[in-house]
Every structure is written in structure tokens, then in C-alpha cells.
Amino acid sequence: MGTVKRNRSPDRKPQRERIKEITEQLEAGVAAVFESEAYKAYLKCMSKFHNYSLNNTLLIALQRPDAQLCASYTSWQRDHGRQVRKGEKGIKIIAPCKYKVELDEKDENGKLKIAERTGFKVVTTFDISQTEGPDLPTIGVNELTGDVGDYRKLFNALTEICPVTICTEDIQNGAKGYYSDADRKIVIKSDMSQLQTIKTMIHEMAHEKLHAKENLDRDHPVDKRTKEVEAESIAYTICQHYGLDSSDYSFSYVAGWSSGKEVKELKASLERIRSAADEMITGIDKSLERQAKREQSKADRNEAR
């Protein structure tokens, strides 16, 4: 069972040192994931999927919004040992193709020169959900389980300090939560464990804090992968600060969003992660203290009756 451990010291330096220590543990943990055989197998598998262009990403989203991993019929068979189920409707995308043309000039042998050109053709892909067969290698990102000591107090503190509405819904697409910049709200999947709920709330609050349109740092432009690295790292740091263990989950999650064998996104973002975590922890502590004062005041009133 997790517990909530608050740092009540008026000296801010120990807290910052503790946050630095935790984020260094995160970096070491992610680096260890990179060295594992499981992660190497995951990277080898992912390398066989094409990196689609923006236009093809939009085409896939329009035809099958819930698509996760797409490949051709033969690629599923040849590279992954999976079979597209009978009757599945393919997803059409545009793929480059090379062809040769004769030029109006001759080579040293008097023959017309041949040049290679690149054109485009429509090809058919299928999402992994349309296939069946052996499971693909994963990096072990499983849902967290377990209760949290003083869960309701921590839940209320997060809700109080969050500048946007937090609500729960029965999310169907597999996501545990999301932040909507357009609606200015955070949605958390209902019926999760207390630990997963708290951790997801912090993750999405980190997105709002760093990645909402009005909060974006123009001097620090970030792509989707880096946004996830930052949000997950902040969630890990804050959970560890309050004695909630999400280390295995966070290590795998962050490593899975990194494109190489160095934690480049994490290293570049560490100071932002530390600063944001420090500000959020300060806000949580103040909210927990206000709750404690209200409870004490209520107890004093009851005792005076």
C-alpha cells in the first residue's frame, strides 16, 4: 500500500535536492531499460514498421481513428508472423515507388541514358487490431495496481491545485487519461486502481502545466514524444516524493518514447521536469496542509460542543 509522505521543512533546498536525486534515479532506471534484452527485441520489432508521413498519418486517422500499428498484408506475415483476418477492410495510404525513364541524351556508348524517378502509388495497410498471431515484443508497461494511503486527501489536493477541471469517464480506446486543450479539462479513466488514478492525474496535469498552448515555452519546442517523456518523468518524480512506487512503469514508459539508445529527450528536459515537479509538490503540500487545518478546526468545534 502506498503512503503519502509530506516534506514539511520550511527550507526549500532539501526538497529540491530530493527532486534532483529522484530524477537522477529515473535517468538511471531508463538507461537500464535500454540495456535489457526485452527492449532490444522491442526496438528490433518497431524498426520494421514504417514511419508514416503526416499525410499518411491523416489518411490512417480518417479511415481508422483507433489504429495503432499499421503494416502491409505481406509485412504482417513476413516480419511479424501475424495474419490479417479474413474480411478485414484495408487502410489506403500513399507510398513512394521508383521507376525508370529514358532521357533525351546518350551515354558514351551511344545509348539513351536511363534515369530513376520517384512516383507515388496507393497501397493497402492493416492495423494490428485487424490481425492475429504471436504477440509483439513489449516493454512491460502494465497498469499500476494498489491502494494509496490518504488517497482521498491526495486526490482532493490534486483537484484543488489543478487550473482546469478534472473528471472521470469510461474511456474506451485504451487510454488511461488525456488532457484536452480545446475543452480545458483533464479526463481520467474510471474504475482504475488508486495508484494508477493518482499517477495518471499527475501525468495529465503535467501536460497542462508544460504543454497547454498558453504555457508552451517558445525557447523549448517539443514534439509529441518529448511531451510524453516530460509528463511521465514529472509523474514519476512526484509519486516517488510521496512514497508511491511507479518506478518500473515509468522506466519502461519513458524508454518506449525515446528514439535512440541515449535518453536524449530526458536529458534535455531534466531541468524543466525538476522545476515543474518542485512547483507541483509545493502546491500539493500547501493543499494538504489546508485540509489538515480544516479537519483540526472541525475537530475543535465538535469538541467544544
User: How much is the pLDDT for 46?
Assistant: 63
Q: Is the pLDDT of residue 181 over 80?
A: yes
- CB distance 139 to 38 below 8 Å: yes
| Cell numbers placing 43 | 526496438
* Model confidence pLDDT, tens digit, residues 253-292: 787 766 555 666 677 778 888 899 999 999 999 999 999 8
41: number of Cβ within 10 Å: 14
User: How much is the pLDDT for 7?
Assistant: 47
SS3 of 18-48: HHHHHHHHHHHHHHHHHHCHHHHHHHHHHCC
User: How much is the pLDDT for 16?
Assistant: 83
d(CA 116, CA 289): 71
Work out the end-to-end distance of the chain between its first and last CA atoms, rounded to an integer number of angstroms.
36
In the structure, what pLDDT confidence band is assigned to residue 188 with cuts at 50, 70 and 90? Answer: very high
Lowest pLDDT segment from 38-42, 112-116, 118-122, 187-191: 38-42
pTM of the model: 0.65
Q: Is the pLDDT of residue 59 over 90?
A: no
d(CA 67, CA 185): 24
- CB distance 253 to 126 below 8 Å: no
**Which residue did the predictor score with more confidence, 108 or 195?**
195
d(CA 157, CA 231): 19
Q: Rounded mean pLDDT of 225-231?
A: 85
Please name the residue ranges forming H helices in the chain. 12-35, 37-46, 54-63, 73-80, 151-161, 194-211, 224-241, 247-256, 264-304
Highest mean pLDDT among 28-32, 62-66, 232-236, 250-254: 232-236
Q: Is the pLDDT of residue 12 over 50?
A: yes
Burial 60-74 (b: 16+ CB within 10 A, else e): beeebeebebbbbbe
**Which residue did the predictor score with more confidence, 166 or 255?**
166
Q: Is the pLDDT of residue 302 over 70?
A: yes
User: How much is the pLDDT for 103?
Assistant: 83
Q: Rounded mean pLDDT of 194-212?
A: 94
User: How much is the pLDDT for 8?
Assistant: 46
Q: Rounded mean pLDDT of 175-196?
A: 92
**Which residue did the predictor score with more confidence, 103 or 276?**
276
User: How much is the pLDDT for 263?
Assistant: 67
Look at residues 224, 223, 231 and name the one whose alpha carbon lies nearest to residue 201: 231
User: How much is the pLDDT for 36?
Assistant: 75
Q: Is the pLDDT of residue 11 over 60?
A: no
Q: Is the pLDDT of residue 208 over 90?
A: yes
Which residue is associated with the grid cell 502546491? 283
